[in-house]
Structure 1
């Protein structure tokens, strides 16, 4: 299918209502693939036109074939994205006399009832609401809603892939095919990722990957973070449209007020503690102007339309290439030039590593969960809810169509069902399977709301001082480091832990007044990726494009050069893991926090080390060990972590990690394996030790 063969009404709309002279290359390629009937993954930066790349062939089919409702299902990870897309699609729908319906927890019940009786042409929905629809509606209602479905668009698919919600969604896409006349064509929209073919496999057994081949050059600068420099740089962009990402809600408020005080510009603020109406008002006002600043956490990282951005600013360096490109890709839509500035605070090496990897196209692979038995547990219970008089075979075959469960065979299903029957989550009567008493006791509160609100959108703990939200911390940091009475830094302030609620993902704190050394986790985000940390080591050894340094300010350059000189003086080379033994032992892996946490815990179990403090680059602890002890233990790690009782020895950390409300109901050894694979990175640790060995150093200290 070509642009010239589009429905005349659609061509008129694109040319006259949207003002397009032609389609972009990614839109032409998507039109051809989707027009052939192929499941299609569209991979492109933010603001590249990939949403329209999916909509154009779908609307062409709706108009040319006169498809009855519901012909298109749009699934998004966020209600805010649903609301934004609903506004955008209403422009299309009103022009073509097509009705668009959004469905999530904030949509009034009377609108949902009207939709059930008279479905609209297009339905926008979150995975949670789709789950509720699958469970609570009769077969006749589901067939009326889904029976004519021809297209499913999954937006921001990269946000789903690694998460429990992604497993849930993948299962739901398979389950809803019970009610469709034909198998709907699947279309995924993703930011640029390292392994798009695997993402396509997650979505479909076969299909096409369409990539955006239009180059948007990346222009970056890296500055030391201080008040004076920040204002000086921002002043240069008055009259421009600037999107500013900050680590926490507290930082958002801080920098919002600094900018308002120091610069004569329009400035808006956007984070999850601000009520929905205020956030949407800020989005609309920022979208409608040609010059303003918007300070946000990660709430505008995804595809909410805020117009053409001139420059993206990061307060503190992103810790992954994928996230850096996702944010930076919001700029340069008009001119084809992505402009970004990183203000770093002691992480010049990380900032340079991220920029270097991004420029060379070396992105992280998304990690698809393997054998997600906790979500399998949930989906079995959900399927019993959904089906009338289901047999175990009905449920097994229905879930077996989902890619995420393809590694689970009939024995896995049988053993899990037997366990669920033993624990009275399920009961078997003749050939049929029903919910047991323990299911209703555990999940039946508030009309099964505990069951519907399935999984946290990410594994982050909310940090609260009394009733005020301070920010958030990654679960990995909370589980592996924080305990009651321990201090940390968030948003530039010192806090001490009063209480940790692992089930509700809340850390309660009070201000910390002591002068003890406190780890700085003020980014509040995810740990540094293996790829970014390892490339920092490349930089220390000079194995990178030295021309990249010219885009760093003198202070940032000096920090990088100093670390390179230190590595050179120690005679470091590829394949070495620098080990420094002094008051503390430092094993400089340059492999990310999750690898270093696992190393420290091995030493804790084997040698009783204490005072553990890990960073992206170093596993550090106190112990009376010599270099031979370190060397031999590192050599033995592959055998140690493969021992049958190793996870039991890690039980304290693993049991503190709730992950979701279903994992605690699984057999203990199964739950431990799942927690272990999410908290740590044993595969990356083994890769590190396979290719690198320890070497003792004396003056090497980052």
Structure 2
């Protein structure tokens, strides 16, 4: 099917109601692929028209074939995206007399009951609400909803790939095929990713990738941070529409008030602690104004429509290329130029590394979870609800159709089912399975409302001083670095940990005047990726495009050149790992926090290392070792981490990681391996040790953060 063969009513709508003169190339390619009936992954930058690329052929099929409801299931990770897309699709639906229904936790029960009796043409839903339908509705109701389903669109599919929610969704997509007359055609919408073929495989056993590179030129500037410098640059951007990303809710509030006080501009704020009405009001006002500032945390990274952005500002460097492109791609729809500014507080090498990789098209690879037995545990329990008198074989076959469970064999299933029986989550009556007493105890009554969701509301820890919320910390840092009495920096202030509640994800703190024990990390966001950290080392060695330095301010450029000179003086090369042993041990892997955290924990076990202060560039700790001890231990790491019980040796540390509400009910060895794969990157460490050798370098020290707030 070509764009010229579209239904006349649809062509008229696109030309006259939307005012389109032509289709973009990604839309033409998607129309052809979807029209052939192929499962299709559409990979394109933010604001490239990929949503319409999926909707045009789907609406064409609905109109031309007269498809009965529900013909399209649209799945999105966020209620805010559901609400935004519902408004957009209602505009299409009203024109063609098609009903569009959204279903999530904020939709009134009466509206949902009316939908069950009389389904709409298009259903927009979150994975958790889809789970609710699978568990709470009868087989007849599920068939009434899904039997006519022809298309499934998964929006922001890259957001799902690595997460528990993605495992749940992948399983649900397989499970709902019990109730469809034909296998629905799957369509995924993704921002640019490093391994689109793997994402397609997650979505479908066969299909095609429709990919479009951005035709918008990336223009960037990198400035050293500081409140005064930030305001000075923002003052020059007044009269434009600017989206400002900050690392925490506390920083969002702080800069929102600073901008209001210092600049004569319309400014809005957006973060997860604000209620839904406030966020939606800010979105609508910002969208409708041609010149304004919006200060946001990651809540506006995904595709909520806030209009045409002129400039995207990052207050602190993004930690991954994917995140940088996702944010920056929100700019330049009108001008064709993506314009972005990064303010750093010492992490200039990271900022330059991110930009350099982005311009060369080198993105991080998304990791599909292997053997996610914690979510498998949940889906077994959910399937017992769903299927009338289920037998073990039926559940195993049903879940086995999901790609995310393809590495789980029948022996794994039997072992887990036996454990679930021993712990009384599952009981067997003849050949059938049903829930045991412990299921009712753990997930019954009010707790049952939480059963549908496989994740805690956030993997971030909330930092509190008394009743005041200071900000948030990524779970990786809270679990691997923090303990009572440990100091850290957040929001430019020093704090000491009083107590950590790993179940409620809360870190209680008090102000700290001491700076000596403050670790090098002071961000709060996600860990720096392996790719970004390694390319920062390339920059130190001069292996990058020097023309990139033109767009750094003088202080930032001087910092990079100074660090390069130090690396050159130390005689560093790509195949070495600089090691410094003095009062502290510093192993400069440039491998990211998940690699360095694993090294430090190995030295904790082997040499009683203490006072760990890792960052993205180095494993840093204190220990009674000399250089030969360090080299010997590094050489032994491949054999140490290849031992089957190695994750169990890390049990004390891993046991603090509350990944989700189901993992604690798994066998201890299974839970340890799952947490280990989440917190660390043993494959990246093994590759690094194989390609590089430790070299002693006295006095060499490159830190991620050099700001005065240390």
Shorter-normalised TM-score: what interval? Answer: over 0.9
For residues 359-398 of structure 1, the aligned pairs below 5 Å read 359-398=359-398
Secondary structure of the 1:119 match is: coil
Matched, 1:118 2:113: no
The answer as to whether partners of 2:375 and 2:454 remain within 8 angstroms in 1 is: no
Higher mean displacement: 1-10 or 441-450: 441-450
Alignment of 1:225-374 (within 5 A): 225-374=225-374
> Is contact 1:570-1:699 (8 Å) kept?
no
Aligned position for 1:616? 616
Consecutive aligned runs of 4 or more in structure 1 exceeding 4 Å deviation: none
Give me the CA root mean square deviation.
Answer: 1.1
Question: How far is the alpha carbon of 1:648 from its aligned partner?
Answer: 2.5
Residue aligning to 1:590: 590
Aligned residue for 1:452, secondary structure, equals coil
Q: Is residue 2:207 matched to residue 1:207?
A: yes
Contact kept in structure 2, 1:25 and 1:214, CA below 8 Å = no
Matches of residues 170-185 of structure 1 in structure 2 within 5 Å?
170-185=170-185
Q: Which moved more, 1:479-488 or 1:11-20?
A: 479-488
1:360-509 pair list within 5 angstroms: 360-446=360-446, 448-456=448-456, 458-509=458-509
Contact 2:45 2:214 in 1 (8 A): no
Q: Residue deviations 1:167-214, cap 9 Å, x none? A: 000000000000011100000000100000000000000001001145
Does the 8 A contact of 1:148 with 1:181 survive in 2?
Answer: yes
Shift of 1:457: 5.5
The Cα shift of 1:330 comes to 0.3
CA offset digits 1:607-658 (Å, max 9, x no partner):
1121111000010111221111111111110011122442222111111111
The alignment's TM-score, normalised by the length of structure 1, stands at: 0.99
> Which residue does 1:151 correspond to in 2?
151
Match of 1:651 in 2: 651
Matches within 5 A, 1:66-77: 66-77=66-77
For 1:128 and 1:246, the matched residues in 2 are separated by 28
> Distance between the aligned counterparts of 2:148 and 2:17, measured in 1?
29
Q: List runs of 5+ in structure 1 lacking aligned partners.
A: none
Q: Is the 8 A contact 1:533 1:616 kept in 2?
A: yes
Contact residue 599 and residue 619 of structure 1 kept, 8 A: yes
Aligned length: 702
2-structure distance, mates of 1:497, 1:81: 36
Quote the Cα distance in structure 2 between the aligned partners of 1:464 and 1:32.
53
Instruction: Map 1:513-528 onto structure 2 (within 5 A).
Output: 513-519=513-519, 521-528=521-528
2:11 alignment counterpart: 11
CA distance in 2, matches of 1:609, 1:509: 24
Deviations 1:301-339 (A, max 9, x none): 000000000010000000100000000000011222111
Distance 1:92 1:666 in 2: 47
Match of 1:42 in 2: 42
Q: Tell me if the contact between 2:489 and 2:523 (Cα under 8 Å) persists in the aligned partners.
A: no
Q: How does 1:99-118 map to 2 (within 5 A)?
A: 99-118=99-118
Structure 2: how far apart are the matches of 1:184 and 1:464? Answer: 47
1:21 alignment partner in structure 2 = 21
Cα shift readout 1:7-38 (whole Å, capped 9, x = no counterpart): 11111111111111000011011101100000
Q: Deviations over 1:485-507 (max 9, x none)?
A: 22211122222223222122222
The 1:445–1:511 alpha-carbon spacing in structure 2 relative to 1, beyond 3 Å, is farther
- How far residue 467 of structure 1 moved from its aligned partner, in angstroms, is 3.5
Task: Give me the whole-angstrom Cα distance separating, in 1, the residues matched to 2:348 and 2:632.
Answer: 33
Q: Match for residue 549 of structure 1?
A: 549
Deviations 1:406-443 (A, max 9, x none): 00111111111111111111111111111111111111
Q: What do the CA deviations read for 1:76-95 (whole angstroms, capped 9, x no partner)?
A: 11011111111111111111
SS of residue in 1 equivalent to 2:612:
strand
TM-score by length of 2: 0.97
1:216–1:338 contact (8 Å) kept in structure 2: yes
How far apart, CA to CA, are the structure 2 residues paired with 1:596 and 1:213? 34
Question: Could you say which residue in structure 1 is the equivalent of 2:706?
Answer: none
